[in-house]
Amino acid sequence: MATFSTASTNPDTTPSGKTNTFYLFGLALVAAIGGYLFGFDFAVISGALPFLREQFGLNEYWEGFTTGSLALGCIIGCLIAAKTSEKYGRRPALLLAAFVFAFSSAGMAMAPGLFFFIFSRFCAGIGVGMASMLAPMYIAEVSPPQVRGRLVSIYQLTIVLGILITSVVNYTLRNHGVDAWRWMFGMGVIPSVIFFTGVYFLPESPRWLLKAKKEERAKKVLSAIGDENYVKATTISIKQSLEGATVMNYAAAFKKPFFTAVALGIGLAIFQQFCGINVVFNYTSNIFASIGASQDDQLLQTVFIGGVNTVFTLLAISLVDKLGRKPLMLIGAGGLGILYIVIAQVLDAKSATYSAIFLLAAIGLYATTLAPITWVLISEIFPNKVREEATSIAVMSLWGAYFVLTFTFPILAKLLGGVQNTFYVYSVICFVGLVFIYFKVNETKGRTLEEIEKGI
């Protein structure tokens, strides 16, 4: 199997040996392109919604379901990813995700009607769901503890780059006629091909190889990552964590001694969505239309949001292995709870300038805290014996919560008397999440996956 070259070295010393950080960065970057696919489909719907409303005559229910149908596919994608990655490995499953995403992007672009479009978006969700589970897990499994947070955060960086670039493309295509939305969705084929090509050259996860009793292949991969001491120490640690392992299933993941970690993962995943920020990404046009912004201004705001999201994600990458996971999660939950109250007030006052400022502040705070750190924690906290099943359960929970959030937002806005009033609901959820994080989340900074497993 072809792998990345290891000719270039940039060693970093760990208690168990030296590692090649340049090579590790390359592995993480390629795997994280799956996040770009996530960001693409996340953002493309926001720019396309004004066109889709006119094309298909969407009311608030169909608008919510069309937007949220991606999440339903993501849930199925997580199930497929868990089974294929456990049986065949992380790499083949990532290749399948790229293929599904390319096929579905073309389907959305050529959709002759609403139901075909929703089906294609559902299929896109399968690819996104697979990548959203597998990419962070793969990165965590190849990373030593001292850089794992930063490397897993690259996945979040590619998500926000996908959002930013897609927002810019949407804005550029806005005046290309009634079929502009078809070009918006068709552009998804390009990153899918790039992702497929990159994953083809990735090595398999050493943790999966050891679990599959392929020790020599695992040591070969580990020797590209670190020196002889690192290979020996890591191999011993992984094998010890797998002692007594049997064939696992989803039911086993909810039993002792795994239940605590799985319940924590589910809670973090649901909170990351129910905190409400993703309605700003998906319904930018609705929010700014409520204060009288033109369609061009609505699409321009998506570009500003993507830019702020990218800048603050870069900040998060520099902080995650310094400040730690828990402090950033607490800052994010409490800060968003306060900002949402202010946002509700300025939206109610129809202040375009202050609405933009405080919405961008919320995006920046989320991008620095809850967005990347949730993915880092989900990739870290599950025991090796049930890593596939537990990660799948957590990510399925995340996508289920995303569907509920995006489906209910247009409906809530109508029932509560305006877009601004929904932010009071999300504020309360953030304060509840603050309490949950304070009492339930332990710090994982600087600890191996096996050490974290013992401490959950």
CATH of the domain at 304: 1.20.1250.20
Helix, strand or coil, per DSSP, at residue 17: strand
| CA–CA dist 354, 371 (Å, integer) | 23
**Domain region containing 349:** 17-202+244-455
Note whether residue 3 is domain-resident.
Answer: no
**The pLDDT value given to residue 247:** 57
Note whether residue 93 is domain-resident.
Answer: yes
Cα→Cα distances 80→74, 127, 202, 238, Å? 10, 10, 20, 25
| CA–CA dist 88, 96 (Å, integer) | 11
| CA–CA dist 88, 99 (Å, integer) | 16
**The pLDDT value given to residue 2:** 39
Q: By the 8 A CB rule, do 134 and 92 touch? A: no
Note whether residue 11 is domain-resident.
Answer: no
pLDDT digits (tens, 9 = 90+) for 259-301: 999 999 999 999 999 999 989 887 887 898 888 888 788 778 8
More confident residue, 131 or 247: 131
| CA–CA dist 248, 288 (Å, integer) | 48
Note whether residue 210 is domain-resident.
Answer: no
419 pLDDT band, cuts 50/70/90, is very high
Residue 10, pLDDT > 60, answer no
DSSP state of 226: B
Residue 230, pLDDT > 90, answer no
**Number of domains the chain is built from:** 1
Global confidence as pTM: 0.75
Residue at token pair 């950080």: 21
**Amino acid of residue 73:** G
Least confident interval from 247-251, 321-325, 400-404: 247-251
Note whether residue 193 is domain-resident.
Answer: yes
Cα→Cα distances 375→3, 254, 313, 370, Å? 26, 20, 13, 9
Q: How would DSSP label each residue in 230-267?
A: HHHHHHHHHHHHTTT-----HHHHTSTTTHHHHHHHHH
Note whether residue 215 is domain-resident.
Answer: no
Q: By the 8 A CB rule, do 355 and 347 touch? A: yes
Q: What value does the mean pLDDT take over residues 412-416?
A: 93
427 pLDDT band, cuts 50/70/90, is very high
Note whether residue 224 is domain-resident.
Answer: no
User: Residue 348's CB: how many other CB atoms inside 10 A?
Assistant: 17
Q: Is the peptide bond before 257 cis (omega within 30 degrees of 0)?
A: yes
Least confident interval from 3-17, 46-60, 292-306: 3-17
Note whether residue 9 is domain-resident.
Answer: no
pLDDT digits (tens, 9 = 90+) for 186-211: 998 999 999 999 999 999 988 889 88
